[in-house]
Amino acid sequence: MSTGSLFDSEPTSAPQPQGARPGAPLAERMRPRTLEEYAGQQHLIGPEGVLRRYLSAGRLPSLILWGPPGVGKTTLANLLAQELGKPFASLSAVNAGVKDVREVIERAKKQRGTVLFIDEIHRFSKSQQDALLGAVEQGIVTLIGATTENPSFEVIPAVLSRAQVYVLESLGKDILTSIVDNALAHDEQLRQKNVRMEEYGALLTISGGDARKLLNLLEIVVEASRPDPKTGAIVITDAVVQQLAQQHLARYDKGGEMHYDVISAFIKSIRGSDPNAALYYLAVMLEGGEDAKFIARRLLILASEDVGLANPNALILAQSCFQAVTVIGMPESDIILGQTVVYLATSPKSNASYKAIREARALVRQQGVQPVPIPLRNAPTQLMKELGYGNQYQYSHDYPGSFAYQEFMPEPLSGTVFYHPGQNPAEAKSQERLRQLWGEKYGY
């Protein structure tokens, strides 16, 4: 299957998976050729899966496939088009521009119903995504976009309104193990090596649910291992995998290899108040070509989740950082990111407000919505006024200190506490004020 920036000729009327080119990586050689060979995502393509139902009806809507790297987004797009015998074209948002999009659309007009696959669609600018709208709306192309980022943030509303979003899940242990066994049993090159799996743990752990990474790591290990002199077999153990992986997979790959590990270490270093470690992981991501807006967005979330009310200015600085990075771009944005990282890492920490909203939402899900107290209800009509809506409400600003002791919670929840102030100077002041206002009501 082609994943180039543009098809070389007219879209093919029925994309057929072809044998991998000589010397292709194992992941390419083992790419599924039919939906029956496709591993995982049974919630989408299983007998009762929503995409299977679309195929049974002989149609396919525009889709956004959202999931981590290596779970089969590209392959699934190709197989869906193949299943319906649709023309197939592929663009990569990393190196395609508006001109490429328009060229695809012009060619697709000759074959209506062309499936246009856009890998990493979250990297398309607004103007590039806008260029798709007319063709999608008119049915010239059926769009399938693939993204590892939340489409709500990275795909413009106009595209989202014309496409169904489906989440692809990380591959589980059983599926990943079966992928390894299948490769050893059916790949011609591996079959000649007499490989014996003694342990799978390190392969699965390092791959992190990424089938492409798993197969490429397996190939690296097999190629770098020496056969047992007595049996002639290449024996794969966790120790062998770990040793060889350290030698070959040290480079940061924003497409998946270390992406999730590094961003996890980055966030945890800031949360743990270590500016030096945080700056190191920031440098790793920037040197690897990571999207600066992706980093700034994570800082914005962290400022609220982990710093919170211990330093309310953190959220303001993180928001300013995101806006500045969006306007300035790289390479100068590294200065702004560095400043924000140091500020957040050295700030006092509190997740009290984060925990509070999580607890409140959990209670609503468990118990449903309780009636709003009558004094707090709005009364825009005469009937509502006659029913007493808004009666006995005490307008806080009419009282000393702009506070009137009254019940705001629904009656069954009176006295329920969600917010527990963190142990830091800023929230200690808030706790003292709440204690003075509410006395023993909330236990502050």
Mean pLDDT of 41-60: 87
Residue entry with tokens 């899900």: 365
pLDDT at 252: 54
Q: Is 165 exposed, middle or buried (0-12, 13-18, 19+ CB in 10 A)?
A: middle
Mean pLDDT of 2-21: 40
CB 205 within 8 A of CB 245: no
pLDDT at 251: 54
- The fold for domain 259-346 equals Zinc Finger, Delta Prime; domain 3 (1.20.272)
Mean pLDDT of 372-382: 81
Full DSSP string of 259-304:
HHHHHHHHHHHHHTT-HHHHHHHHHHHHHTT--HHHHHHHHHHHII
pLDDT at 273: 92
Two tokens at 240? 């062998």
Q: Which tens digits make up the pLDDT trace of 105-135?
A: 888 888 777 888 988 888 887 878 888 888 8
For 313, the enclosing helix (H) or strand (E) is helix 313-328
pLDDT at 134: 83
pLDDT at 319: 96
Mean pLDDT of 369-380: 83
**Cα gap 433→418, rounded to integer Å:** 17
Q: Is 147 helix (H, G, I), strand (E, B) or coil?
A: strand
Average pLDDT, the chain: 84
pLDDT at 396 over 60: yes
Higher pLDDT, 282 or 6: 282
Two tokens at 111? 């074959």
pLDDT at 8: 32
CATH code of the region 26-167: 3.40.50.300
pLDDT at 23: 66
Q: Which tens digits make up the pLDDT trace of 269-310?
A: 999 999 999 999 999 888 777 889 999 999 999 999 999 999
Extents of the domains making up the chain: 26-167, 173-248, 259-346, 364-438
pLDDT band at 242 (very low <50, low <70, confident <90, very high): confident
Q: Which tens digits make up the pLDDT trace of 247-256?
A: 555 555 555 5
Query: What are the distances in angstroms from CA 47 to CA 44, 50, 62, 67, 185?
Result: 9, 9, 21, 21, 26
pTM for the model: 0.55
Q: Within a 10 A sphere around the Cβ of 22, how many other Cβ atoms? A: 6
pLDDT band at 7 (very low <50, low <70, confident <90, very high): very low
pLDDT at 287: 79
Query: What are the residues facing 165 on neighbouring strands?
Result: 64
Is the omega angle on the peptide bond into residue 421 within 30 degrees of 0, that is, cis?
A: no
Mean pLDDT of 242-271: 72
Higher pLDDT, 386 or 61: 61
Q: Which tens digits make up the pLDDT trace of 341-371?
A: 999 999 999 999 999 999 999 888 888 888 8
pLDDT at 311 over 90: yes
- The fold for domain 173-248 equals Helicase, Ruva Protein; domain 3 (1.10.8)
Mean pLDDT of 66-76: 86
pLDDT at 14 over 90: no
Task: Tell me which residue of 301, 241, 243 sits closest to 271, measured CA to CA.
Answer: 301
Cα torsion 153, 154, 157, 160: sign: negative
pLDDT at 17: 41
Mean pLDDT of 125-149: 84
Mean pLDDT of 12-18: 42
Q: Which tens digits make up the pLDDT trace of 178-226?
A: 999 988 888 888 888 888 888 888 888 877 778 888 888 888 888 888 8
Mean pLDDT of 33-47: 85
pLDDT at 147 over 80: yes
pLDDT at 18: 43
pLDDT at 323: 94
Domains 173-248 and 259-346 are alike in CATH topology: no
